[in-house]
Each structure stands twice: as C-alpha cells, then as structure tokens.
A and B are shown apart, each in its own frame.
Chain A
Amino acid sequence: MRVNGAFIEVDCFQKNKGDNMVCGDTFVSHKFKEEGRVISVMSDGLGSGIKASVLSTMTSTMLLNFAMMNEDIVAAASTILKTLPRDEVRKISYSTFCMCDIDCFGNTRIAEYETPAYYLFREGKFVDVPKKRIPVERDDMPNTALWLSEFPMEKEDRLIFFSDGVSQSGMGRRNMPFGWENGAREFIRECVTRNPSVSATELARRIVTEAEKNDGYCLKDDTSCCVIYMRKPRNLLVCTGPPFDEKNDANLTKLVMEFPGRKIICGGTTANIVSRETGRKITLDIDDMDISGNDLPPSSRMEGIDLITEGILTLSKVERILSEEDTDNHNRPDGPAEKIIRMLYDSDKITFLVGTRINIAHQDPTLPVELEIRRNVVKKIKYLLETKWLKDVDITYI
C-alpha cells in the first residue's frame, strides 16, 4: 500500500464489557493489493454480548462486502441504513458504524452513522474535517442521516476512530462527568508527542487500556479503537534456506547485509553461510530451551542480524500461530517462533528471501515429524500476513 512511498498501517484493539465472552463491536478491514486501496469498517451493536456481536458483525461484513464489489461507500452505507432493524423500545437502530475507504493516492472517504466522531491527527494537531450531512429516508426513524467526509490523507497522518466504550469511559466520575471525549484527545496527543513513530497497533492498544483504567478496570461497554497510520514503511527481511547454487552464497549474504531494515535468518545452514561469508560469529541463546512451552531449537545472535532461528520447524510454528490468532496476543511465551511473530506484526513491508536448495535429509519419510517444503510454508505465511494482517509481502527466490 503506497502513497508517496508510505504504507497504510491499520489495526484495531478491542476489550469486552465486564466479563463478557464476546465483543459487541466488530472491526473488519480489507486491503486490495492490486488497487492499493484499504477499506475498514467498525460497527457497534446495540447493547452488549452475543446479540450485539451478531448485529455488528452483520453490519460491518455487509458494508465491507458492498464496498468490495466496488459499490460507492455512500450508496452502501445508505442501503444498510435503510434496512437496519430498529429497537422498538429505544426507537434507535440496532447498530452504528463508521466506514473508511482510502485509495492508492491517499484520497479518503469516511461515512459515519451515530459513532463518536473520528479524529484526524496531523503534525501534532487535530484537524477538523468538514462533514457533509446525507439524509437517509426512513419512515420509522425521522432525521436519519449519514455524515460523509472527504479529504486526502498525508504522510504521517493518523486516523483514529472508536466505539462509545472509549468516549463514554469514566462517565460520572468527578474528573470526567461526561466521559473521556476531551481527555482522549489529550491522551492521543501526549502518546504521539512522546513517541512520534508509535504504531497503529500500539496506539489503539494504549487508548483502549486507558479507557479501561477510566472505568476502574471493569469496562461498562464493549470498547474498540481503530487506528490508521500512513507511515514510512518498516521493512523486515526473512531469509531462509541456502541458495540453489553455492556460487550464490556471497550474493545471498550481500542481499541480507545490505537490506535496509530489520533482518531475520531462519535456518542453521543459512546462518552458517552468512557467518562464513562475513566472518561473524554465531552465539546460541540456550536460555530459549528453558522457556516453558517452547518446543523449538533455540535462537541465536550474530552482529548485524536481529534474529537467527532454526528453519522449517520454526517457520511451520509461525504459520500455525498466524492461522490460529486473530489479534496480537501479548501474553505468548518468548520462544523463537514468537519472536518472529512479534517482528512480523511490527513490520509493514516484509520480504522473504527463500533459498531453493532442497535439504535431502528432510525428505526421509521415516522422520518422526512432518517437515514441509520450505517454499510451501513461506507461501502460506505470505497469504496469512496479507489477508489477516494487511501486510505488504514479497517473496524472492534465490
């Protein structure tokens, strides 16, 4: 996703009301790689629990599906608004939503319905974007309207939108009788001033955690925050496997050492090649073997490389974690696969440099574990990173 070389980082962090097992807010996002377009939708279902979750899931996924079929977001949002069921007691619709569509040039369109107003944070200040009211006819709910904003996103801009769990957190407390709405602005400003490159993931997490604190660590509503950050891409190289032709060993080392970003090497042979070509020593972190739940060979260190791990077993575990997880889990152990996962999550543009030499020893059918072919595992990881985590991923074979 490029706008003047920038990357659009999108992430959402959610916490459930009280002890609820599900969140009544839903966030969905889709990246169109070929078009360089990102669509994100957040919906808040009326009430909380399963019913709210079903309502918000239906609203957000239908909006996303309309938009994916190239329906204009105003038309999509109006259609949904006309069909949303109405709560007979409260006389309000069953869900609210905010939908954001950013194209490859950074042109942004946001349609809001009854959610707290989003924030656009640019160069240390909040920018007030003019909004257009678009009435939607509904006999049972007069004065129903969408709010549409259109503006170009610029490099280093942040868009922050959240459910009322954030803006109404702390409501009734002496220092915030009407909730956290103004305090949230100050909090965001402070977070970004303190750490100007704070990621979308981290900022969303901090906002929700602060809202939880406002509610005395027992949230009174489902709380979600989505941050879209147009940032300079954070590059990561994952080099795995020796080159098909040994003559390319020097070339592989050069590509790794000259890569502008963080570097991971997965595979003992590959690490040995880089160590031999650069004359740098590899040191194993044997403490990794003491981490409970770690079933992988330990990671290693080398000057100039951020992480060295074993190859195929570790990558297979990375693939398994990526396919099982839907949100960034901060409580996972600190084994080699988890270290890779953390670095993948903290990167925007990920390049896999895959050596194509087949390790004959891995092809023995009597082996006690399934050792997959490296290229297949990397392809699965690429697919998961692109679809679930909206990363830019490239694979280069050597």
Chain B
Amino acid sequence: MGKIELKICMGTMCYVMGGAELRAAVDSLPREERERINVSYAPCLGNCNDGGEPPYVQVNGRTIARVSSSNLIQILKEELHNAL
C-alpha cells in the first residue's frame, strides 16, 4: 500500500484562514489510514502572495487551495483509495 505525502502550509494567511485546524483533521482519521499519510509542514508555500485562496496544502505534490477540514479528509480518503 502506497503512502500519501501531505504538506500543510503554516504561513500567516493559511494559518489564519483555517490551516491551524487541518492537523487535527488528519489526526482524526482511523489509525490504519492515518499511518499511511506522511504529514509535513512548510513555513510558507508561497501561493497567496498575489491574492490566492488560502489555506493551501500539497497532496503528493499537487497544490490544493481553499482547504477545509472536511474537504481535506475527503481528498485524503480518495488519494488513499487510489493508492491501494
């Protein structure tokens, strides 16, 4: 089973717009799913300098804008399913 690489942006805008809660969302996944996700954090992914739609995450290198706890879980579940 493949692993998912998740990078959460901890820049000012992403943090203020809900990025702070994303870690808890990932931790709420069932253990067998959570163990298949490598979570890392970036001081800033540099996406919102020209406006942008924070908060941002990167899932397997793909940048996703305007992430909420619920749609992050959905995205991760899809990626986990695809990686089986």
- Residue numbers of A with Cβ under 8 A of B are 267-269, 271-272, 282, 284, 286, 289, 296-298, 300, 308, 310-313, 359-362, 367-369, 371
Closest Cβ of chain A: how far from B40's Cβ, in Å?
8
Cβ-closest chain A residue relative to B40: A284
The reply to whether the CB of B48 lies closer than 8 angstroms to some CB of chain A is: yes
Given A269-B49, A361-B51, are A298 and B41 neighbors across the interface (CB < 8 Å)? Answer: yes
Cβ-closest chain B residue relative to A302: B43
Cβ-closest chain B residue relative to A371: B12
Contact at A297–B49, with CB atoms within 8 Å?
no
Closest Cβ of chain A: how far from B26's Cβ, in Å?
12
Q: Which residues on A sit within 8 Å (CB–CB) of B43? A: 268, 271-272, 282, 284, 297, 300, 308, 310
The reply to whether the CB of B10 lies closer than 8 angstroms to some CB of chain A is: yes
Closest Cβ of chain A: how far from B34's Cβ, in Å?
15
Cβ-closest chain B residue relative to A269: B44
Stretch at the interface among B13-21, B57-65, B75-83: B13-21
Q: How far is the CA of A268 from the CA of B45 in the complex (A)?
A: 8
Contact at B12–A312, with CB atoms within 8 Å?
yes
Q: Which residues on B sit within 8 Å (CB–CB) of A369? A: 16
What are 28 A-B residue pairs whose CB atoms fall within 8 Å in the complex?
Answer: A268-B11, A268-B42, A268-B46, A269-B11, A269-B46, A271-B43, A271-B44, A272-B43, A284-B41, A284-B43, A289-B23, A297-B20, A308-B43, A310-B12, A312-B12, A313-B15, A313-B16, A359-B12, A359-B49, A360-B50, A361-B13, A361-B49, A361-B52, A361-B54, A367-B16, A368-B16, A371-B12, A371-B16
Contact at B44–A268, with CB atoms within 8 Å?
yes
Q: How far is the CA of A284 from the CA of B8 in the complex (A)?
A: 11
Q: For the complex of A and B, list the 3 residue pairs with the smallest distance between their C-beta atoms, beginning with the closest.
A: A268-B44, A268-B43, A284-B41
Q: Which residues on A sit within 8 Å (CB–CB) of B50? A: 360-361
Contact at A284–B10, with CB atoms within 8 Å?
yes
Number of interface residues of B (CB under 8 A): 22
Closest Cβ of chain B: how far from A316's Cβ, in Å?
10
Cβ-closest chain B residue relative to A313: B12
Q: How far is the CA of A166 from the CA of B44 in the complex (A)?
A: 51
Q: Which residues on A sit within 8 Å (CB–CB) of B46? A: 268-269, 272
Closest Cβ of chain A: how far from B41's Cβ, in Å?
4
Given A272-B46, A359-B49, A361-B49, are A286 and B13 neighbors across the interface (CB < 8 Å)? Answer: no
Q: How far is the CA of A313 from the CA of B17 in the complex (A)?
A: 13
Q: Which residues on B sit within 8 Å (CB–CB) of A360? A: 49-51
Given A284-B41, A361-B48, A361-B49, are A268 and B12 neighbors across the interface (CB < 8 Å)? Answer: yes
